[in-house]
Amino acid sequence: MSEYKLASKQHPLHKSQVQVGDELVGGDELSIIAGPCAVESAEQLDEIAKGVASAGVRFIRGGAYKPRTSPYDFQGLGKEGLKLLREASNKYQLKVVTEVLGSFLIEEVYPYADVLQVGSRNMKNYQFLKELGRLDKPVLLKRGMSSSVKEWLLAAEYILLSGNENVVLCERGIRTFDTSSRNTMDIAAIPLVKELSHLPVIADPSQGTGKRSLIKPLSLAAIAAGADGLMIEVHNQPENALS
């Protein structure tokens, strides 16, 4: 038996597709999640939501509670941001993907989100993962920035083991010696997790590279490598973005 008992490709009880309302992640179509890094205002989100919806995107992303490296940076609008996401979702028929920073916020974020995002910094918060495993909403599990593929899959295993089968993995780049882009996109991890597990996997070249010119080539590379979708950060005024 492999270490990935529940996430293993051989496991009979698990499906390789995650249903988010009427949207399927891991099916024949790519799932594109687009939106700002952080929700900043009603005008900002409305403009972005309108743009992504008209491009055919079905999922909006946006942080209401942001895990910023510096406590002096914009921390997100909090509950107000969650409400704006829900409004955009209703207006443009978009599913909401937003980060939950920890157990203390599950209750608050749950009603506003269609997919609960676990950030890179929380991938190893195992008690938190167990709590998310007891919920009935899909979890998008980012890879820890310094985590191996094995650690990442075992983190997914925590959620599955607690009863939530609906886990989508997200490769978002790892830290390496090379700082020429923000992180190093581990494209090889995409087919590798597909070999080891049944879970759908998407790629986030925005956190992965931190560089606008690299988003398109890395998106194409991720899809060629077998990704089930993409998470892309977009902004109506990128030069003025708060994060």
- Judged by the rule CB under 6 A, the positions of this chain that interact with ligand PEP are 37, 63, 67, 119-121, 142, 172, 207
Q: Which is nearer to ligand PEP, 53 or 101 (CB)?
A: 101
Q: What is the 3-state secondary structure (H, E, C) of 20-76?
A: ECCEEECCCCCEEEEECCECCCHHHHHHHHHHHHHCCCCEEECECCCCCCCCCCCCC
Residue 239 gets which letter from DSSP?
G
Nearer to Mn ion, 157 or 233 (CB): 233
Report the residue number, 37 or 155, with the smaller CB distance to Mn ion: 37
Query: Nearest to ligand PEP by Cβ — which residue?
Result: 119
When CB distances are held under 5 to 8 angstroms depending on the partner's kind, the choice from ligand PEP, Mn ion, none that residue 67 binds is: ligand PEP
Shorter beta-carbon distance to ligand PEP: residue 8 or 229 = 229
**Which one of Mn ion, ligand PEP, none is in contact with 120 (Cβ closer than 5 to 8 A by kind)?**
ligand PEP
In Å, how far are 55, 114, 127 from 234, measured between CA atoms?
A: 12, 19, 32
Minimum Å gap between C-beta 12 and ligand PEP is: 32
Residue 214: C-alpha distances to residues 42, 116, 126, 209, 221 (Å)? 29, 26, 33, 7, 11
How far is it, in rounded angstroms, from Cα 11 to Cα 25?
Answer: 19
Q: Which is nearer to ligand PEP, 119 or 205 (CB)?
A: 119
Nearer to ligand PEP, 6 or 77 (CB): 77
Beta carbon of residue 33, minimum distance to ligand PEP (angstroms, whole number)? 10
140 touching Mn ion, by CB under 5 A: no
Q: Which does 142 bind (CB under 5 to 8 A by kind): ligand PEP, Mn ion, none?
A: ligand PEP
Q: Are 181 and 194 in contact (CB under 8 A)?
A: no
Contacts of 12 by beta carbon, 8 Å cutoff, 6+ apart: none
State the binding partner of 26 from ligand PEP, Mn ion, none, CB within 5 to 8 A by kind: none
Q: Cα–Cα distance between 146 and 141 in angstroms, integer?
A: 14
Q: Residue 205's binding partner, choosing from Mn ion, ligand PEP, none, with beta-carbon cut-off 5 to 8 A by kind? A: none
Output the smallest distance, CB 231 to ligand PEP, in A.
7
Out of 37, 53, 140, 167, the residue judged to bind Mn ion by CB under 5 A? 37
Exposed / middle / buried, residue 240 (Cβ in 10 Å: 0-12, 13-18, 19+): exposed
